[in-house]
Amino acid sequence: MEKWNLNQKKNFLKYIDFYLVTDSRFSKKGTFSDVKEAVEAGCQIIQYREKNKSTKKMIYEAFEIKRICRNNAKFLVNDRIDIALAVDAEGVHLGQNDMPIEIARKLLGEDKIIGLTAHNVDEAIEAENKGADYVGLGPIFDTTTKKDAGEGIGPDKIREVKNSIRIPVVAIGGINMDNCESVVQNGADCLVAIYAVLGSDDVKSETKNFINIIRKIKIRRNHSFD
């Protein structure tokens, strides 16, 4: 895989809008189909997240998702540094209790994307100081897709975090078509909507809808700041 420099990585992260996180529990057509449809809809970043499969199975699935993403989307692995290394993914997303980001960076290298979950301003600032490329902030709203996610912090908290750090903020947790506008208006650079997309009958159409809404709101938001 051709390596990119740090400026290319930063520029890419500036312009992402919808971010797909896989979850086979909610998929109607299977993870590979979900990823294919999302990429065809224009999704630029895919995170492979599985909690209950064998390492062997995850490596197989990760290789296939990477193949689907090739040249069209960046491919990240949730939690599992070993899986990311095995398939040469473009990066990982880590939780607060996962491998320390400093060690992950040494293992993966400077050119890889590392995102870190944050629940508040202090964790977001710490993530940036330790070298995270973006913060996954949440849960914004109450969610059932992650049992230990905690209560929703509300979209107003996005603005507080956004004003405290320079790296992109990816909002996640209970986001759907009805509330996504408030998420982007409050400063999120990108958002994740898991069940709203994977639980739909048409992943491609739902992904397109989210991308279109996010881009329109960003244009309005940016003009209001001029």
pLDDT in tens, the chain (226 residues): 456 777 888 888 888 999 999 999 999 999 999 999 999 999 999 999 999 999 999 999 999 999 999 999 999 999 999 999 999 999 999 999 999 999 999 999 999 999 999 999 999 999 999 999 999 999 999 987 766 667 899 999 999 999 999 999 999 999 999 999 999 999 999 999 999 999 999 999 999 999 999 999 999 877 765 5
Of residues 159, 212, 148, the one with CA closest to residue 182: 159
Residue type, 99: M
Of residues 91, 114, 110, the one with CA closest to residue 168: 114
**What is residue 10's predicted lDDT score, i.e. its pLDDT?**
81
Torsion of CA 146, 148, 152, 153, to 10 degrees: -130
Label residue 102 exposed, middle or buried (CB < 10 Å: 0-12, 13-18, 19+).
Answer: exposed
Of residues 185, 95, 191, the one with CA closest to residue 140: 191
Please provide the DSSP assignment of 9-31 as one string.
HHHHHHT--BEEE--TTT-SS-H
**What is residue 6's predicted lDDT score, i.e. its pLDDT?**
79
Q: What is the pTM of this model?
A: 0.93
**What is residue 144's predicted lDDT score, i.e. its pLDDT?**
75
Query: Any idea which fold 6-224 has?
Result: TIM Barrel (3.20.20)
Backbone angles phi, psi at 207, to 5 degrees: -60, -45
Of residues 20, 148, 137, 125, the one with CA closest to residue 76: 20
Pair 91, 76: CB distance under 8 Å:
yes
Q: Alpha-carbon distance 23 to 9, whole Å? A: 26
